[in-house]
Amino acid sequence: MKARDDLLVSVCFAEVQPDAASLATLTTLARRLAAGFRYWELVLVADAEAAAGFAPFMGSLPNVRLLTVRHGAPFYRRRAVAASEAIGDVVVLASVEELAALDVVEMIGTADAAGSIVIGRRRQGSMLNPGLRALGGGAGFRVDVRDMLTAAYPRTLLNRLLAHPDRLLALRFPPADHGIPVLWRDASDGAAPRRQLQEVGRRFNLIQRLMVSSAPRVLSLVSALSVLVILSSLAFSAYAVVVWLTMPTQPGWFTTSLVLSLTAFFLGCAILGLSMGLQKVIELLSGEANEDIVDEQASGDLFGQVMQELNVEIDADRAGS
């Protein structure tokens, strides 16, 4: 099979251990990439303090780029750095531990042919998956704990994800947007990877980010509740006035009721104003997506027809021939 020369491929690793096992895995991957594509690169991200340990990688593997980052840079920020620096038409964000369970070359070809993100998926789920899906839906992401770290992104879709207000989440879980098609590839082995302490910390970080990303919908709910509080306080004030005018009451009841209703009215107005202001700030910071058109279909090629009929150079060539 001849290697494709019409596609530039970048395979990125945000975290690689500088040991012999990782070098052997990447060597096997490099052979497969070289057999399938003429132009390809491996992008590795490492701490500046550990960069010296990757000298064997640079000497043994072809087409390797090593990006050094500050010590302690979070994992998902490193993924975003790798995605931003990759130059491929199709970019793969991968994990060394998952390469044995996925056909990365096939995922690249599918991503290019279908114009879709291709994400690896484990067969084994979790009891927390329904709750995380609901949390992700509130934040605007398609969250599934079975989704693996390895995914192939066409350049056009990757650029859209990098421009997303929360690109770290968007590069982990695709946004709930029909304009961003997604395909999933099941892993060859159904065994779940070991959950190390570091992986548990990443999961908690993702949950916290999902909760923060749900802020616009939470603020909308708070605004609606604030309006109900305002209306309820006004209704209670009217009720207190009617009772005070028509029925005998205990001394101080009317004054206490009026103070409580006015306090609730003030708090409702204050919280409503704050939530509306925060929503406006989020809207201004987020920006609008200009990609409102998801797809286009036409029954004819009007542009091509106009080019053929009105192009002076084409008409001159025809007259000369």
How far apart CA 119 and CA 105 sit, in angstroms, is 13
Among residues 169, 125, 173, the alpha carbon closest in space to that of 151 is found at 173
Task: Answer for the pair 93, 83: CB distance below 8 angstroms, yes or no.
Answer: yes
What is the CATH code for 4-213?
3.90.550.10
Give domain limits for the chain.
4-213, 216-286
pTM score above 0.75: no
Among residues 73, 111, 78, 74, the alpha carbon closest in space to that of 92 is found at 111
One pLDDT digit (tens) per residue for the chain, 321 residues? 678 889 999 999 998 988 999 999 999 999 999 999 999 999 999 888 888 888 889 888 999 999 999 888 888 899 999 999 999 999 999 999 999 999 999 999 999 999 999 999 988 777 777 888 888 887 788 888 888 999 999 999 999 999 888 888 889 999 888 889 999 999 886 444 555 556 666 777 777 777 777 777 788 888 999 999 999 999 999 998 998 888 887 888 889 998 999 999 999 999 989 888 887 777 776 655 444 444 444 445 656 666 666 665 555 555 555
SS3 state at 173 = coil
Taking each helix axis as running N to C, give the angle between helix 155-162 and helix 75-85, from 0 to 180 degrees, rounded to the nearest 10: 130
**N-to-C CA span, the chain:** 42
Q: Say if residue 162 is exposed, middle or buried (CB neighbours under 10 Å; 0-12, 13-18, 19+).
A: middle
